[in-house]
Structure 1
Amino acid sequence: MKKYYYILFILCLNLSLMAQKGSEKKANSLFEKRSYVKAAEMYEQLGESRNVLQNLGDCYYNNTQMKEAVRAYGKLFLTYKKDTLNPEYYFKYAHSLLGMADYDKADQIMGEYLKFPVSTTKFINNLKTNVPFNYTVQTMSKNTSNGDFGMSFYGDKVAFASLRTADSKSFGWNEKPYLDLFSAEVNAKGLLTNIEPFPKEINTKTHESNVTFSQDGHIMYFNRTNDKKVKIGKEKIANIKIYKAEFVDGKWTNIKALPFCSDLYSTEHPVLTKDGKKLYFSSDMPGTLGSFDIFVVDVNEDGTYGEPINLGNAVNTIHREQFPEISNDGSTLYFASDGHQGMGGLDIFMSKSLNGGPFAKPLNLGETINSNMDDFSYVVDEKRNLGYFSSNRKVGDALYSFTRTENQERYVVEGEVKDKNTQNLLPGTLVSLYDENNILIGQMVVGVGGDYVFATEPNKKYRIEAMKDFYIPHSEEFTTNEDGKLRYTIELFMECYDDAEEIITKRQDGKVQIVLENIYFDLNKWDIKSDAERILNVLVDLLKKYPEMDIEIGAHTDSRATDTYNIMLSNKRAASTLEYLVKNGIKRKRLRSKGFGETVPLVRCGNNCTEQEHSINRRCEFIILK
């Protein structure tokens, strides 16, 4: 009887496992089709395998359900070793945590992703005094669940995309209606009125969104999603194209996709310059740095188009840059990004172009307009300093109007940190600002752009200092003047130790080593002899020259004794060397000592070493820790 029950138990268990595998396969199929809502429902009923937790987190992340995404990614990071996870999950987990305003945890995860420390709180505080404008924001509809976004100016009206067509077919990504384009007026209270859909020539059974118009209103460019999916890799995707339409005899006609669009990638968020000669847009076409980049294309007088040009790595990152907007004179680009440092999700940035040159490093527009969720699709009437943007900071996408006023506190020192010899930017550098009494008044860790910004005051002396592991600290002094709007730009050029000193070298394993003559000890001894003192005095002088340098003293033996004895002997020799440095004025906290015994030989000769090979393996090494 017991045997019978055991067989029955095994049979039921196998059937359960088979059912779970079948369910996971179906959930994976929905996930690949980007039916994230239905896929998440199925994944929630399954176990906590790596695939389930990754895809479940992505389902919620892709629909900006950050609380649920944090729960799924949190289990993933708790259950599986971090070093086995794809870096993209660090990025998405960090942004999910930012969406929950959990800055401490988000900074920890983002720091592990970027390989240098991050402080969102310091970043936000620094922005308060360097953004050019402060914003007063209000919603444009009492109902924020309409899924409105992507505002543009349309003569005396506005145009935007919305889910308001409630009877349309639902979209598998989020189980909501397909998007259509609408026009509206804005009343004195900043609310949308007289809302009307665009005609059926424009609005079809698929998505339409993100419209831009020529100055006379007779040409429009807009987004439309393909009605058929194309298999790209393992996924079937309906990509997005930019269409052009012409207003002829009171009707939108000649509706065609632009020639540089494709079924194999998306072209999104078109915006036409005031003179109609250039079209900016976002795309994941070949030639991007990562996800979506911002491009520009010439619009020729004969109606043809030039080759799309990527705006480059000052603007674009390996993540998302979308929803461009260009000022009337073409000198200022506004766009949304989650690749530049921000507060969570997409943030709105601005970038300046001087004299028609390339766009400079972008500036986050600050917390009076950006939130810890997605903020995007910024448009502005620069003469009246009012405009619109979109955000999902509450329940779903919604339109917001804003007025902007000049930031009266904007008086700053800014610049970049670069390697003195290579001119490469140095993200992760700690930059500190001191007043004339050497009191620290500001500090930040620079991001991937290597740039820093600090608030200052008129007619004061300051010192700015940059510090980074394996680099010589660098500082400069400056004095501000009476003009509160003047921007000081100081570039901090830092030199790494191995460029500055001949006796310092970077090894093939990436460690930075101080190369000295070998230090010899008597047989079975660890006391410092006079010859060793002469050599160690060189090290003492170097450590006094660079007071921020920390080192590890590693002692190694030959292989002519037992493993245990050699470890003990090498530990004593390393400790003895450390004590000599301390006795000669080096702070103990800057030093580490470790005995390696015979475990890391330079010459792997085993039990057949010559006297010369033994002497090579019997050594002290000095590795720079920071």
Structure 2
Amino acid sequence: MKKNTLLLFFVLVGCSLCAQNKETKNADKLFESYDYVEAVDGYLNLVEKGNTDAYVAKQLGDSYYYMHNTVAAEQWYAKAIQTKQDSETYYRYAQVLKSNGKYTNSDAQMKIFSALMPDDQRAKQFNKNPNYLAELVNKEKLFVVEKISVNSQRSDFGASLYGDILYFASARNESNKIYGWNNEPFLDIYQSTYNADGSYSEPIPVNELNSRFHEGPLTMTKDGNVVYFSSESFKDKLFEKDKNHKLKLGQVNLYKSIKENDKWGVVTPLPFNSKSFSMGNPSIDADGKVLYFASNMPGSFGGTDIWKVTVNNDGTFGTPENLGNKINTAGDENFPFVTDDGILYFSSNGLMGLGSFDVFSVDLNKDEEPYNLGKPVNTEKDDFAFTFNKEKNIGFLSSNRDGVDHIYSSVPICKAQIASVVKDAKTGALLENSRVVLLDANNTVLETKLSNTNGAVFYDVECQKPYSIQVFKDGYVTKSFSIAKISEGKITIDAVIDPIEVIVTETEIILNPIYFEYNKSNITKLGATELDKLVYIMSQNDKLKIYVKAHTDSRGTDEFNLDLSERRANTTVAYIVSKGILADRITGKGFGESEFKVDCQENCTEEEHALNRRSEFMIVK
């Protein structure tokens, strides 16, 4: 996440002043003013001159960490820890290792951090669940995540959909001044129309809200008349002076605008803004009565916490409240978003995740622990600013999984259930311990279960996808059942299977008619289903040998029908052999129209023709 001070803002630099010296003074000044791009150049220049100080390595590690260049951060942290470091350095090193997919090495650094800070909430969580990674990777997939078309080559993030308009922050305006944190233009707020077909219009800036400073993501009341958004305290001349470094240190603050004549009116600061701490990334609840935001104000548990404040009927505000240590940690929590039904989504690098920032949810109506949304919402990289529009049933996620902050749609996976009840075709008995296999449209096996005492098997599946099930049971013929695309809910399939004794006599195997297309000898889908029964019977008795007799109806010449029936007999034998039955166990011959089932000659009905156009499976041995 390229975060700019505006986004993750208020990162606590935490450098060790005692290691600063005259040689590092210029680079330190850039670092402390958040100009990490130039600071890196300054520190690297010292390295080129032979400075191998662990302090310089740590400062480079921190600079790259804040710039979210995890590969370079890993390189310099590895050098820094050759000399004993403060606990946060080990924690950051663990984070970048995790972001780079090096989980074993990350855990090793977390153990060092935990030993140094045993009472830290992050250490306690790590020690409590050493198998956290496997649990996260195996979580049920909840959303389909796809990059959307509004993205530019610069940072785009913090998208929220209100009505048909998608609002987000972007650094795409090349005319804006360049920000030293990440060497990108300052941020502006943009909007794009979300069309009924799922496409997006070309984004345009929201000029009434944008200024020469950073503007970050916004939140809007349900009626669409009030917005709250992040910007910089410099616009209100709220800053502190650092005389030693000749710096003006601003903050990220919250601002409000009310719609007037279909345009956003005067932008006003919220009354609890401060020059001493930051607050931003707001989210207003469905009633417009509670504003959630992130801040590092006094009373925070870590770097940045999730806070809330009451919005009174007269437009005044209550006293900000911290959401507590079930949500907030000694790390950073940020980008809150509250849904209409009281689900809070937020990002954290203090709770156990896949790497860097992960998205979590918590139901504010219940006393519960935050829930990691798992993949594909979360990755080893920064995943943040998750929002959700319940009316449109679509969410939006920001992530730097591709190296740049971009916006992704997050569509909930539609859930349905297939209930299969296996029954005996002859008696109707419910068949326990039947093996039921679920397959997708490509016949890939998804899951296999045994039926319960009621003959039932239940599969949780995705909506709007076709499936099929295959049922296997000793003493019964294997059968397949196709399932068309299903809507959300439950569908029940009566899987009726034939007991072998129903179709096996002393002299032949009795199958349903195996039909062929006119003047063709290829096996049809329905024919294959019947022949699979024969395959199963032969596989259960390796001494059984079969003789296939193929017949035609009375239409066509004797010579034509004899040749046609011979070809049909050959393809039938070839199909059985292709299923693994030895060729010496099945033979076949065509009999043309020489042996009618119904001797109706030229006056046959279509049904009688079909009865004559048959294959018979005689037991030889």
Q: Tell me the TM-score normalized by structure 2.
A: 0.59
Residue number among 223, 237, 240 corresponding to 1:230 in the alignment: 240
Q: Which residue of 2 aligns with 1:392?
A: 400
1:324–1:232 Cα change, 3 Å:
farther
1:310–1:142 Cα change, 3 Å:
closer
Alpha-carbon separation, structure 1, partners of 2:316 and 2:413:
40
The SS at the match of 1:348 is strand
The SS at the match of 2:201 is strand
Q: Which residue of 1 aligns with 2:71?
A: 67
Q: Which stretches in structure 1 are left out of the alignment for 5+ residues?
A: 1-19, 410-456, 461-481, 486-626
The share of aligned pairs that are identical, in percent, is 35
Residue number among 225, 228, 253 corresponding to 1:218 in the alignment: 225
Alpha-carbon separation, structure 1, partners of 2:347 and 2:59:
25
Alpha-carbon separation, structure 2, partners of 1:408 and 1:95:
37
State the one-letter code of the partner of 2:211. Answer: T
State the one-letter code of the partner of 2:395. Answer: G
The SS at the match of 1:26 is helix
Alpha-carbon separation, structure 1, partners of 2:242 and 2:336:
26
Alpha-carbon separation, structure 1, partners of 2:74 and 2:199:
34
Q: Report if aligned partners of 1:284, 1:291 keep a CA contact under 8 Å in 2.
A: yes
Alpha-carbon separation, structure 1, partners of 2:325 and 2:354:
21
Residue number among 289, 306, 318 corresponding to 2:301 in the alignment: 289
Q: Which residue of 1 aligns with 2:291?
A: 279
Alpha-carbon separation, structure 1, partners of 2:380 and 2:128:
14
1:105–1:216 Cα change, 3 Å:
same
Q: Report if aligned partners of 2:241, 2:249 keep a CA contact under 8 Å in 1.
A: yes
Alpha-carbon separation, structure 2, partners of 1:315 and 1:56:
31
User: 1:329 Cα deviation (Å)?
Assistant: 2.0
1:479-499 deviation line (CA, Å, top 9, x unaligned): xxx9999xxxxxxxxxxxxxx
The SS at the match of 2:154 is coil
User: 1:21 Cα deviation (Å)?
Assistant: 6.2
Alpha-carbon separation, structure 1, partners of 2:75 and 2:38:
18
1:338-380 deviation line (CA, Å, top 9, x unaligned): 00000111100011233xx6x5210100022101111011111
1:413-438 deviation line (CA, Å, top 9, x unaligned): xxxxxxxxxxxxxxxxxxxxxxxxxx
The SS at the match of 2:341 is coil
Q: Report if aligned partners of 1:144, 1:395 keep a CA contact under 8 Å in 2.
A: no
The SS at the match of 2:202 is strand
User: 1:406 Cα deviation (Å)?
Assistant: 5.8
Q: Which residue of 1 aligns with 2:37?
A: 37
Paired residues, number: 389
2:361 pairs with 1:353: no
Q: Which one has the largest radius of gyration?
A: 2
Alpha-carbon separation, structure 2, partners of 1:458 and 1:105:
41
1:179–1:142 Cα change, 3 Å:
closer
User: 1:142 Cα deviation (Å)?
Assistant: 7.5
Residue number among 327, 334, 337 corresponding to 2:345 in the alignment: 334
Q: Report if aligned partners of 1:107, 1:120 keep a CA contact under 8 Å in 2.
A: no
Q: Report if aligned partners of 2:136, 2:354 keep a CA contact under 8 Å in 1.
A: no
The SS at the match of 1:297 is strand
Q: Which stretches in structure 2 are left out of the alignment for 5+ residues?
A: 1-19, 116-122, 418-448, 461-621
Alpha-carbon separation, structure 1, partners of 2:181 and 2:149:
25
Residue number among 386, 390, 394 corresponding to 1:378 in the alignment: 386
Alpha-carbon separation, structure 2, partners of 1:23 and 1:237:
24
Q: Report if aligned partners of 2:160, 2:388 keep a CA contact under 8 Å in 1.
A: no
2:313 pairs with 1:301: yes
List aligned pairs for 1:178-193, cutoff 5 A.
178-187=186-195, 190-193=198-201
1:137–1:144 Cα change, 3 Å:
farther
User: 1:215 Cα deviation (Å)?
Assistant: 1.4
Alpha-carbon separation, structure 2, partners of 1:318 and 1:124:
20
Alpha-carbon separation, structure 2, partners of 1:458 and 1:166:
61
Alpha-carbon separation, structure 2, partners of 1:214 and 1:155:
11
1:486-544 deviation line (CA, Å, top 9, x unaligned): xxxxxxxxxxxxxxxxxxxxxxxxxxxxxxxxxxxxxxxxxxxxxxxxxxxxxxxxxxx
1:195–1:121 Cα change, 3 Å:
farther
Q: Report if aligned partners of 1:70, 1:96 keep a CA contact under 8 Å in 2.
A: yes
Q: CA RMSD in A?
A: 2.9
State the one-letter code of the partner of 1:65. Answer: N
User: 1:193 Cα deviation (Å)?
Assistant: 1.9
1:236–1:95 Cα change, 3 Å:
farther
State the one-letter code of the partner of 2:111. Answer: G
Alpha-carbon separation, structure 1, partners of 2:219 and 2:242:
29
User: 1:293 Cα deviation (Å)?
Assistant: 0.6
Q: Report if aligned partners of 1:273, 1:326 keep a CA contact under 8 Å in 2.
A: yes
User: 1:34 Cα deviation (Å)?
Assistant: 1.0
State the one-letter code of the partner of 2:350. Answer: G
1:64–1:195 Cα change, 3 Å:
same
The SS at the match of 2:142 is strand
Residue number among 332, 335, 349 corresponding to 1:323 in the alignment: 335
1:221–1:385 Cα change, 3 Å:
same
User: 1:249 Cα deviation (Å)?
Assistant: 1.9
Alpha-carbon separation, structure 2, partners of 1:308 and 1:459:
55
Q: Tell me the TM-score normalized by structure 1.
A: 0.58
Q: Report if aligned partners of 1:325, 1:334 keep a CA contact under 8 Å in 2.
A: yes
1:273–1:21 Cα change, 3 Å:
closer
Residue number among 298, 301, 312 corresponding to 2:324 in the alignment: 312
The SS at the match of 2:38 is helix
Alpha-carbon separation, structure 2, partners of 1:213 and 1:373:
28
The SS at the match of 1:307 is coil
2:126 pairs with 1:126: no
2:355 pairs with 1:344: yes
User: 1:385 Cα deviation (Å)?
Assistant: 3.5
Q: Which residue of 2 aligns with 1:493?
A: none
